[in-house]
Structure 1
Amino acid sequence: MKKLKLIQQIHEAGVVAVLRADSPAEVVAMAQKAIEGGIKVIEITMTVPFALEAITELSKKYSSADPAADNYAIIGAGTVLDPETARATILAGAEFVVSPGLHRETIILCNRYRVPIMPGAVTVSDITAALELGVDVLKLFPGNLYSPSVIPSLRGPLPQANIMPTGGVNLDNLGEWIKAGAFAVGIGSDLTKDAVKTGDFSLITDKARAYIEAFQQTKQN
């Protein structure tokens, strides 16, 4: 039941912060600022040096148990390329796993431990293969290669596919992706680039609030 609950929570949250940084301390600070701004689903990429330290620290501080709690957030791992890394992130506290590509053994491992796995898939063949392996959510990556219209096109023959575009999603097109049927959207560098450039991480909180407001407005209309 926990796996299904997490998937539903991610869908309801709508916005996933995909965070990359040069150190675990920096990515933890980014995550905290994003959470303060209302983004409650955080993906720490394994490209961050000592990323497991950041995942452990965040998973100890935040909990997915009660969406009404002050410390509510869902912490996951991204850029997971193999089952060994997937297992390490799960042991570190990651509650979901994201991969840029479709890797059978990684999916099988995550299914074994009932952890949501979101592999990258861009073709009907990829999506079909992922569904046959029991994948619940597919990552459309890089999203900037496509327009939002790709989602209804893919879901025409595969209406059961839950698709989350990542890469290229911004405040100007978030509403289009959600209206097109996106399960959720992943926000990468657009969330953090100004903060990194200026050193003012409060800008992440401001940008996170803007994303959440855009998502909520789209869902209400």
Structure 2
Amino acid sequence: MTDMSVITSTGIIAIVRGDHAAQVHTVATALYEGGVRAVEVTMNSPGALDMIAGLAAKWQDRMLIGAGTVLTVEQFDAAVSAGAQFVVMPDTFPPVIERARQRGIEPIPGAYTATEVRTAVRAGARYVKLFPAMPAGPKYLAQLRAPLDGVHFVPTGGIDDANLTDFVRAGAVALGIGSTLVSRRFDGSPAQMDNLRDTAQLLISLFAQARRT
């Protein structure tokens, strides 16, 4: 199976979209220098498979490369063939979870209610994406997690430096972060490279501090 300790040790999955296709390796460089060790490319992005393949070819021995917004078994198969090492879903669709387990790929299905979480777990998921994480917030995660021992939650959607600490204290083992980290207007300029690197370092530092307290 996917070595999820790569993700849980740093706590951040950086979500990259089609807006970044032309700059994807520049984005990856800044993220890596900022300490990020997992990148998710959303499958609803133009050129997603090419982005995954390019990232996997250059970075997979240094970062985990994943596919996000995986809705079907066919999308899963295509993403894995392109080099995806983990898959993230916006919903809980057992056939994708089951195929992922068969292939030795870690699935992170999306869920919002206890029923959805349990459906994901019964299908074989160990990690569940709480989506959308906001506006429900950290208190909702804590309440949802209380009766669901053993489920590793990865809140995604609306995570930023203001609420990250509270989500970790509520039980998040990692967080999916998109535009808060990687601006849709990223153009690869030195200033934006510095900002992306600094933001990644800040978020990872906040995660580490929150986990210690």
Superposition TM-score, scaled by structure 1 size:
0.89
Residue 198 of structure 1 and its aligned partner are, at CA, apart by 9.2
**Are 1:75 and 2:54 an aligned pair?**
no
1:23: how far off?
Answer: 5.3
Q: Which residue number corresponds to residue 28 of structure 2?
A: 31
Q: Distance in 2 between matches of 1:35 and 1:57?
A: 15
State which drifts further: 86-95 or 18-27: 18-27
Query: Match for 1:59 among 53, 56, 60?
Result: 56
User: Per the alignment, in what secondary structure is the counterpart of residue 91 of structure 1?
Assistant: helix
Match for residue 192 of structure 2? 201
- Structure 2 counterpart of 1:103: 93
In structure 2, give the amino acid aligned to 1:129: T
1:159 aligned residue: 149
Find the aligned partners of 2:166 and 2:39 in 1 and give their Cα distance: 22
Displacement of 1:107: 1.2
Match of 1:173 in 2: 163
Shift of 1:195: 5.3
Instruction: Determine the C-alpha separation between the residues in 2 that align with 1:48 and 1:157.
Output: 36
Structure with larger RCO (C-alpha < 8 A, sep 6+): 2
> Contact between 1:140 and 1:165, CA under 8 Å: does it hold in 2?
yes
CA contact 1:192–1:204 (8 Å) conserved in 2: yes
CA distance in 1, matches of 2:136, 2:205: 24
TM-score for both structures, normalised by structure 2: 0.92
How far the C-alpha of 1:205 sits from its partner, in A, is: 1.3
Quick one: distance in 1 between partners of 2:184 and 2:39? 18
8 Å CA contact retained: 2:67, 2:86? yes
Report the equivalent of 1:93.
83
User: 1-side partners of 2:20 and 2:145: how far apart?
Assistant: 38
Q: Does 1:139 align with 2:129?
A: yes
SS of equivalent to 1:44: strand
1:212 aligns with 2:212: no
In structure 1, the gaps of 5 or more residues are 65-71
Gaps of 5+ in 2: none
- The letter of the residue matching 2:7 is I
Offset at residue 29 of structure 1 (A): 2.7
Distance 1:198 1:134, change over 3 A: closer
CA distance in 1: counterparts of 2:105 and 2:176, whole angstroms: 18
Q: Is the 1:166–1:185 Cα contact (8 Å) retained in structure 2?
A: yes
